[in-house]
Amino acid sequence: MRANEAPDRIGTYPRIVLRDYCYMGCPYCPELVPNDSEFHGIYFTTFQHSEYWPYDTRRKTYLSSTFALGFQSQENIVNQHVSQRIYEGLAYGCIVLTNSRPAVEQTENCCLLVTTREEVEDQMRFFKSHPDLLQERQRRGYEFCRRTGTNDKTVDLLLETIQHTVGVRP
């Protein structure tokens, strides 16, 4: 899954930043979450899929956050799976900080690799003090998502695979 958004809607939603960061999903990498005394954010975790926030709530959370913590499980990293939270963060204008090299590679370096809490905090400080570079990184994320980061693209890839594999035209 990628961002559940029409490509032409990417980058059109108003952003009203209320917090530095957000994370929503399985409890990955709590040791990388920024220090609360300097940074304000949401780190919502659950093992229960039924407790995941609805898409509209997640969208609003990304749109009100500067950074999305795109933490991935070791299994996802080894299998080079990039989860939906990566695409959602980029689609809604966040700078995505991730512990996954495959996520960085598969998003054409739109995400930034972090391996320690200090690296997370340093990246956040850097972009908060360089708004022009923050906006440039947002623009790159929007462009990437419009081109290849939505469920529309996933559907296209599935249909192409079916057509190629069995010779059936959708």
Residue 58 covered by a domain: yes
Give the model's pLDDT for residue 170. Answer: 54
* pTM exceeds cut of 0.75: yes
44-98 tens-digit pLDDT: 999 998 999 999 999 999 999 999 999 999 999 999 999 999 999 999 999 999 9
Give the model's pLDDT for residue 165. Answer: 78
Q: At what angle do helices 131-148 and 117-128 cross, to 10 degrees?
A: 110
Residue 149 covered by a domain: yes
For residue 115, the enclosing domain spans 7-166
Residue 30 covered by a domain: yes
> Which residues in the chain belong to E strands, given as ranges?
19-25, 41-45, 65-69, 95-98, 112-113
What is the mean predicted confidence (pLDDT) over 20-29? 97
Task: Count up the domains in the chain and report the number.
Answer: 1
Reference 144, options 94, 76, 101; nearest CA is: 94
> Which residues in 70-118 belong to E strands, given as ranges?
95-98, 112-113
d(CA 71, CA 89): 11
| Average pLDDT along the chain | 92
Reference 24, options 2, 3, 53, 67; nearest CA is: 53
Residue 2 covered by a domain: no
Q: CA-CA distances (angstroms) from residue 1 to 95, 118, 134? A: 19, 30, 26
Residue 114 covered by a domain: yes
d(CA 71, CA 6): 24
CB atoms within 10 A of CB 163: 12
Residue 1 covered by a domain: no
At 87, which CATH number? Answer: 3.40.50.2000
Q: Percent of the chain having pLDDT more than 90?
A: 84
83-125 tens-digit pLDDT: 999 999 999 999 999 999 999 999 999 999 999 999 999 999 9
Residue 104 covered by a domain: yes
Give the model's pLDDT for residue 40. Answer: 98
Residue 138 covered by a domain: yes
